[in-house]
Amino acid sequence: MNITYLLIPVLIGLICGIAGYYIGKMNSKKDDSLSASLQSDLDVCYANTKNLHNRIKALETDLAFKTKTHYLSHKHFVLFDSETATTVMGRKIKENDMKIIEGIGIKIESLFRHSGITTWHELSEASSEKIQSVLDAGGENYAIHNPITWPKQAFLAYQGKWKELKDLQENMLSGKE
């Protein structure tokens, strides 16, 4: 028996084994990068889903609050008590002063007054779309504000619930509950 006949198949098998090993290794790297890419896409989807759930919750809260506000606003009229407001809030409060609402300053108050929203009661009943359109009309410096809690704060001020308003504002972070 000639050794060449035995050596050639062994060498060919060894070369094919090494080549197969490296080809498999290269394919597994492609799978790892694909897996990492899919995982990052999945993480983005989870983050978007979480944001959407938070937005839905905020809208549901806003809707429930608007429904309650509409019912209560037609139920009775509330008189403004300046002394209680000043005592609880720690500064002099004038009736329908929009600046007591977290996130509203002199310029935004002026935008509201020019658009016909002049009282806490009117602000508490304004839709989110109406409030955002007033801000958008003021320019891009105002459009960035998040007015989601403004109707609720305005309603508490209108109702004379100063302690609840102060507690709400103290627990807010960047205008959000």
Residue 47: the pLDDT is: 87
Residue 67: the pLDDT is: 65
The domain locations on the chain are: 69-170
Residue 51: the pLDDT is: 83
pTM above 0.75, yes or no: no
Give the bridge partners for 173, in sequence order: 176
Task: Report CA torsion sign: 146, 70, 99, 142.
Answer: positive
Task: Report CA torsion sign: 13, 18, 22, 24.
Answer: positive
For residue 113, give every residue at least 6 positions away whose Cβ sits within 8 Å of its Cβ, in sequence order, or none. Answer: 98
Low-confidence stretches of the chain (pLDDT < 70) are 1, 28-32, 66-77, 173-177
Instruction: Specify burial of residue 56 (Cβ count, 10 A radius: 0-12, 13-18, 19+).
Output: exposed
Q: In the block, which residue shows the tokens 């896409």?
A: 41
